[in-house]
Amino acid sequence: MNTASLTRFNSPKSWLVTAAFVAVVVAVGAAIGTQAAPGAWYENLDKPPFNPPNWLFGPVWFALYVLIGIAGARVFLIDRNSFAMKVWCGQMVLNWIWSPIWFGLQLIWPAFAVIVLILASIIAFIVATWRMDRISAYLFAPYLAWVSFATLLNFSIGVLN
Q: What is the CATH number of the domain that holds 56?
A: 1.20.1260.100
Asked if pLDDT for residue 10 goes beyond 60, the answer is yes
Q: How confident is the model at residue 36 (pLDDT cuts 50, 70, 90)?
A: confident
Please report how the helices 54-79 and 83-99 are oriented relative to each other, as an axis angle in degrees rounded to 10: 160
CB contact at 8 A, 98 and 110: no
For residues 57-61, average pLDDT: 93
Q: In terms of residue numbers, what domain contains 85?
A: 3-160
Q: What is the value of pTM for the model shown?
A: 0.91
Q: What is the pLDDT of residue 1?
A: 46
Q: What is the pLDDT of residues 114-147, one digit of tens each?
A: 999 999 999 999 999 999 999 999 999 999 999 9
CB contact at 8 A, 82 and 153: no
Number of domains within the chain: 1
